[in-house]
Structure 1
């Protein structure tokens, strides 16, 4: 051979013996780095492929220069026939190599579609799989290459047809947006635009618009009906790379999703420019019904592995958990073979619902024993009778059966459950689903991961649960992973220490459920020498402080927390110093210095405001006491209405108001003269404030009652009905104040 070489990577030169090059060991991805999957990628892909073919002298296999040799039976001579047959084999070998390069640089969806198209074209003439590289290249040109406009027509196309095409696209957009099929059909008949052409600035076609705006399935089906049967929709994308199914997932168009997947199931695994599948889009937009429909079309293990594996698969669960749809998340968990990160457990810890109240827990767990008691009259279970029949029939049939107090108690509890259950049933269901999801996630981690890797799955979630004060999550994680209780953050603080820092009292209370481990925390220290009381002395996080209004009450809460931890630790820990030489008391004073100042300012300003209010009330009620309604007898000085019941109410209410408001005034004055020491905020100052506010409220209430009694004395003697509006108006301010 003219140019043969022992190096397999060297391209064979064209010669008399081998006129066709054959670089069989060349690594194609080093030249062609892009998998062709759509029209937008074609120009880049074509440029890379042409460089590859031209660099190896194989461009003739696609441009028609190197045509297939004829194997003519008319050739005379044994040697000539043999030469033609040899050249034919060599050409087919090189052509197959070029064809393999081209097909290997296509995406899976594009490859399937192109091969099916070529098989349909050639099966009438020859073997269905016997198509050459040029036919593959021409088919790709037909599918993806832009239409070639002759140069002499470019000016005409640009100047004359652009405005007309834009107007037609606008008409098609409006007709599609309004769901008017007749108008759409008129535009399509003109053949100036199709449903596959982009008609909006962001590259949406009429199909995108219909899927995104129309809720009528028939309208989308008619639009899909005008698409050629052999045309797939994977390359019909907007500027975001979204297919029609992506758009349906974004808007939650469940009907369109069902139609598209029924016709084009390959859209299920398509990804947009950001690598998101339609399922991921539907889950992130919290379209539960659309997501459930997409899940129904996932049948094969390949599809499950593609959608529910890796960090992107975990993100699906995180999106559902973040929307607090724990029931759907629990169903979605069944598709997972393993969890790849701690993101799922972290999402559960961050979004776990609040704990159930005693009543909700009773309704949810069926604490009352449900014994079947049958009626002697009809023979049915009495509880079934009560639920099915009207109250009168139920009582007539059931009451004779209950001759014991146990049965009466059972019926009463059942009635309470029936009345309350509709209001709390949803919260109970959500809580149960969340707990089951947490257990499933922990169980799946234990089954699929080695024990040595457990900490990387539970450490961050259990610390987050401790921060959120979600003690149920902490309990369940510790149940599945007992060593999780010793998990520590980057500062070296374990779960209990982290709970103390974040004021998570429910997680902290787990200390009292421990046995031998509890004593460890009495003396435990962190890397800075801080014991548990040092950590309690720190200022609480702002999100926990903001749960309590006003600085004075915040300081009180901080002091209560400090006293609680102080009672738990060893007595020696109270005076121990950390590595900075500070005792817990010193840390508390330093951390809360600014809060004490703010508390003092608030207490003084509040006391001053209420002092003015109390002074005004004293003036009013004292004046009312000496100027009684109706006046007094000029001879005896006794009030005219002394023996009236309304006057007695007035006198008593006015006296109560005066004494209460004087007490309130004295309390607020004592606050203004207080020393405002740090420890005073624990009991003295809050107690004075509460007494002052309570007595002021009592005084205000008594003053309103006294005023109402005066109104009745003056205007209600001959009109007793006046008492009704007076009573209503009297209750209005009192009720409003108590409510607010």
Structure 2
């Protein structure tokens, strides 16, 4: 954190606070910067100090050679030709510098009234008319409305106190001169608790920011009371909070806590939500965090005391200090599913950590950075549960793998793995269904949050651990914000393995399948709904995405009661109608994708068919003039040429016919399931086959004509193969994807079967 006291004469006289002062900040921050230093001793607040202010600002402008902008009455040069353009730029620069100097020397009560003035001379004259002659009639009124008068008075007092009365103390503290600071505080006892900067900082705040330990320690020990240490700056931070954020000396932090132990539970910033240990974890101060963890009372971190305990756990997880989280959860298990200040439960955050393909751990400076990589099948963390047979171990087994150079740090990594595993099972063991009330397993609860996070992210292993333990009942009690159960959520997020695993639990199947959400959707309505959360990005092409959606809808439809197919939701729509409405755009995209692919492949197939047909009548070597038979008829290479040419011709013909069939097909949702993909698979396969046999025919023809001339044959064959190989390489992946999605292990039925088999282990 960098806390900077803005002095009159710096580049911008105000700090950026948000939309309320954006216009003033934006205008001043774009002005020409003034040289560092103080423009005037104090800013202009009104008629009471205008005379002194104007004299000081005039001297400053004279010293900076800017007074002629105010003194002259000539109009600015107009940029009409090259010479005048140079003069105009020079005038504009000096005008901006003068304008900026005046603006940053005006108080916050005046700045809103003058922010729209772009001429320094006009601004100067306007201020003179407003404040130079108070009794003058017709002057421009720049005073604040009566409602804002109190703010003007407070602002004036704050600035005067901060830069005149306490200026000596501020400079002494900033420079680390305790002798001067001590004498000043002795003469002015109240100064030790006074706010001496525009940011509302006390002398102790300033000393900590300046990293002046020789000032901070005696201030705490000798000059400040217990209550003085609780004073906050304008950002809501106590001096202890600032020390933690800055990573200040641990001894000084300990000194402040010993003098006022209540500081450990005083909230800071963000509406007073962050207690000191949370600040330490949030800002990566692990050494301070461990110290604060030891001295913070556990009873102050219980859910009854607020979200601080859960926040400590979530921040400990995010900073990879799992041991702190584990200790805290062991003292208060309910923290695992309590909500922190961001309304996130530790268990939910941990599930999110698991779901990532790579989670970075930022360790101390002596460590290198490592990454936590979860298993591709998400069978969580390679930790075999105790008292399970080998089959169960393989099903619920979990593997933590680390990427990067690990030889030198194997002990540290093993320690992190152990902490990671222990924390997971400590949080799972904390869930006791019998002891949980309706709120704790309700829509907004941390338990529901964690389970639905796992379902959304496809973390099969976590859901498996819930299903195989005493927490299984949670799977049919919890609901999300839309009133959907875990089975509906698995369908919504298209995780077939999780769906199959939950579906395979007999006691939950009937109850979950018959459920409806808040708008009357049954599980088949959910299967027919395409939303932004539906994970389709990993699927190639709109047609394959549409095929996957049809597979899901048909798969869930086959498992449901047939009556569900005609049930209507509160909008009066059946599942089929919901499917067609939500997939209308995807059907159009799938049709366009199919037609474009078929058109491009048809061109290639037609070209091959034409070449191969002509090659059959223009054979290599020609024909015998007497018999009409091919000259190389008796050579084996000639037989290979004829066979390859014929196969290429026939396969390219089939390919073209298949692609023409695609171009003339109907594009309804059901056709994307098998009909269109099958035609595309046949067309692509025969096209690639025709390309391969064409290359064989070409190679055999070259070998026939240049027999024994390998130095010619080999380069020709290689060069001819390059463009063909590139085309196959670019499109072969599409063929594989279509075969896998249509007939392979990527289908809904295969994945669901895997989930059902997993659930059978725990019956």
TM-score, normalising length: structure 1: 0.53
Please report how far the alpha carbon of residue 669 of structure 1 lies from its aligned counterpart in structure 2 after TM superposition. Answer: 1.0
Match of 1:455 among 438, 441, 461: 441
Cα separation, partners in 2 of 1:211 and 1:619, compared to 1, 3 Å: farther
Q: Find the counterpart in structure 1 of residue 349 from structure 2.
A: 347
Q: Find the counterpart in structure 1 of residue 329 from structure 2.
A: 333
Separation in structure 2 between the aligned mates of residue 227 and residue 641 of structure 1, nearest angstrom: 108
Please report how far the alpha carbon of residue 312 of structure 1 lies from its aligned counterpart in structure 2 after TM superposition. Answer: 3.0
Match of 2:473 among 466, 482, 495: 482
Cα separation, partners in 2 of 1:446 and 1:552, compared to 1, 3 Å: same
Q: Which of structures 1 and 2 has the bigger CA Rg?
A: 1
Q: Is the 8 A contact 1:234 1:270 kept in 2?
A: no
Q: For residues 7-50 of structure 1, what are the alpha-carbon distances to aligned partners after superposition, in whole Å with 9 as ceiling and x for unaligned?
A: xxxxxxxxxxxxxxxxxxxxxxxxxxxxxxxxxxxxxxxxxxxx
Please report how far the alpha carbon of residue 560 of structure 1 lies from its aligned counterpart in structure 2 after TM superposition. Answer: 1.0
Separation in structure 2 between the aligned mates of residue 368 and residue 445 of structure 1, nearest angstrom: 20
Q: Find the counterpart in structure 2 of residue 86 from structure 1.
A: none
Please report how far the alpha carbon of residue 607 of structure 1 lies from its aligned counterpart in structure 2 after TM superposition. Answer: 1.7
Q: Is the 8 A contact 1:463 1:498 kept in 2?
A: yes
Alignment of 1:297-696 (within 5 A): 297-300=292-295, 302=297, 305=300, 309-321=305-317, 329-330=325-326, 333-334=329-330, 336=332, 338-339=334-335, 340-341=338-339, 343-344=344-345, 345-353=347-355, 356=375, 364-365=383-384, 436-444=422-430, 446=432, 451=437, 453-456=439-442, 457=445, 458-477=447-466, 479-480=470-471, 482-489=473-480, 491-521=482-512, 523-524=514-515, 530-576=521-567, 582-619=573-610, 632=622, 638=630, 657-696=648-687
Cα separation, partners in 2 of 1:333 and 1:600, compared to 1, 3 Å: same
Q: Is the 8 A contact 1:705 1:730 kept in 2?
A: no
Extract unaligned runs of 5+ from structure 1.
1-144, 174-183, 214-218, 371-418
Separation in structure 2 between the aligned mates of residue 467 and residue 421 of structure 1, nearest angstrom: 23
Q: Find the counterpart in structure 2 of residue 281 from structure 1.
A: 279
- What SS does the corresponding residue of 2:543 show, helix, strand or coil? helix
Please report how far the alpha carbon of residue 679 of structure 1 lies from its aligned counterpart in structure 2 after TM superposition. Answer: 1.3
Separation in structure 2 between the aligned mates of residue 231 and residue 706 of structure 1, nearest angstrom: 98
Separation in structure 2 between the aligned mates of residue 681 and residue 269 of structure 1, nearest angstrom: 61
Q: For residues 678-702 of structure 1, what are the alpha-carbon distances to aligned partners after superposition, in whole Å with 9 as ceiling and x for unaligned?
A: 2111101012223323343444556
Please report how far the alpha carbon of residue 487 of structure 1 lies from its aligned counterpart in structure 2 after TM superposition. Answer: 2.6
Q: For residues 485-518 of structure 1, what are the alpha-carbon distances to aligned partners after superposition, in whole Å with 9 as ceiling and x for unaligned?
A: 1333455433223333343323321344322443
2:289 corresponds to 1:294? yes
1 or 2 for the larger relative contact order (CA 8 Å, sep ≥6)?
2
Cα separation, partners in 2 of 1:326 and 1:691, compared to 1, 3 Å: farther
Separation in structure 2 between the aligned mates of residue 243 and residue 721 of structure 1, nearest angstrom: 80
Separation in structure 2 between the aligned mates of residue 480 and residue 611 of structure 1, nearest angstrom: 57
Cα separation, partners in 2 of 1:689 and 1:282, compared to 1, 3 Å: farther
Q: Is the 8 A contact 1:205 1:238 kept in 2?
A: yes
Please report how far the alpha carbon of residue 673 of structure 1 lies from its aligned counterpart in structure 2 after TM superposition. Answer: 0.7
Please report how far the alpha carbon of residue 314 of structure 1 lies from its aligned counterpart in structure 2 after TM superposition. Answer: 1.6
Size of the aligned set, in residue pairs, is: 512
Please report how far the alpha carbon of residue 603 of structure 1 lies from its aligned counterpart in structure 2 after TM superposition. Answer: 1.7
Cα separation, partners in 2 of 1:692 and 1:513, compared to 1, 3 Å: same
Separation in structure 2 between the aligned mates of residue 467 and residue 643 of structure 1, nearest angstrom: 65
TM-score, normalising length: structure 2: 0.51
Q: For residues 462-494 of structure 1, what are the alpha-carbon distances to aligned partners after superposition, in whole Å with 9 as ceiling and x for unaligned?
A: 344444444444444563362551333455433
User: Which range moves more in the overlay, 236-245 or 491-500?
Assistant: 236-245
Separation in structure 2 between the aligned mates of residue 421 and residue 462 of structure 1, nearest angstrom: 24
Please report how far the alpha carbon of residue 567 of structure 1 lies from its aligned counterpart in structure 2 after TM superposition. Answer: 1.9
Separation in structure 2 between the aligned mates of residue 292 and residue 335 of structure 1, nearest angstrom: 21
Q: Find the counterpart in structure 2 of residue 33 from structure 1.
A: none
Separation in structure 1 between the aligned mates of residue 709 and residue 202 of structure 2, nearest angstrom: 78
Q: Is the 8 A contact 1:503 1:544 kept in 2?
A: yes
Extract unaligned runs of 5+ from structure 2.
1-156, 185-191, 357-373, 390-398, 735-763
